[in-house]
Structure 1
Amino acid sequence: MDARKHLIIIKGKDQTDSVANFQFRNGKCEVVYTSAPNKTYSFQSSNVEILPLQKKIDPARVIVTVNGQTISGIDEILDFGGYYRIVRNGKRDLSFRRSEVQFQQNCLTDGKNQET
Structure 2
Amino acid sequence: MTSLLERVDPPALCPPVRGLYAHVVIAPAGRTAYIAGQVALDASGELVGPGDHAAQARQAFLNVKLALEASAPLQPTWSATPCTSSATAPNSCRSSSAPPRRPTATPGR
Q: TM-score, normalised by structure 1?
A: 0.20
Q: Select the structure that is richer in strand.
A: 1
Q: TM-score, normalised by structure 2?
A: 0.21
Q: Which has the larger radius of gyration?
A: 1
